[in-house]
Amino acid sequence: MAPTAKLSLLLILAMAMLSARADHHKETNMVVYFQDYVGVPNATGIPFADIPGKLWTFISFGTVYCTDDPLTEGIDRDSAPVGRGQGLYVTSALDGSSLLVLVSILFTNKKYKGSTLQIQGTSRIFEKYREVSVVSGTGKFRFARGYATFETVLVDSANGYSVIQCNITVRSG
């Protein structure tokens, strides 16, 4: 084979390998609902630290919440369970406008049982849609990367209850 023919064959092979690798990335889209209870006896989100002398609220700089919310398939709290959203929220803006969100999604549903996704990002709490990043995952989500949006879709302040819709888009594999 002539050297130029060899070279172009190599190029074609390399390009085929690159595109095969790109195709291999699988995109997963899902919607889950965080069932959140705050300030009630059976709360799933509880502030446990703050700067002395300041209020312990979502909009007070330095407040740290621990959370373990049930995640469901639908907005209804009695809809099928998907897993748990466990982690921390820290009011990280001096003016109280954003939270640092560090949440692990632990799947318990049939499709992803035992797998996790790691959410980390800034949630601008006064915006309708809050976009955060999905930095990694385990199990079926090894090497996952992507983003998630949060939108509060139900608020029942009398019962400290709210539901947050979370749309997740990740690529993995």
Ligand X SMILES: *[C@@H]1O[C@H](CO)[C@@H](O)[C@H](O)[C@H]1NC(C)=O
Binding site for ligand X (CB under 6 A): 31, 37, 42, 44, 77, 129, 149, 151, 167
Q: What's the Rg (C-alpha) of the chain?
A: 21
Of the candidates 128, 129, 146, which has an alpha carbon nearest to the alpha carbon of residue 137?
146
Give the residue with the Cβ less far from ligand X, 21 or 131: 131
Q: To the nearest whole angstrom, how small is the minimum distance from the Cβ of residue 116 to ligand X?
A: 21
Q: To the nearest whole angstrom, how small is the minimum distance from the Cβ of residue 93 to ligand X?
A: 21
- Is residue 153 within 8 Å of 36, Cβ to Cβ? no
Please classify residue 134 by burial: count the beta carbons closer than 10 Å to its beta carbon, then call 0-12 exposed, 13-18 middle and 19+ buried: buried
Q: To the nearest whole angstrom, how small is the minimum distance from the Cβ of residue 122 to ligand X?
A: 16
Of the candidates 65, 61, 74, which has an alpha carbon nearest to the alpha carbon of residue 39?
65
Q: To the nearest whole angstrom, how small is the minimum distance from the Cβ of residue 29 to ligand X?
A: 8
- Is residue 168 within 8 Å of 150, Cβ to Cβ? no
Give the residue with the Cβ less far from ligand X, 19 or 159: 159
Distances (CA, A) of 2 to 10, 15, 16, 25, 111: 13, 20, 21, 36, 53
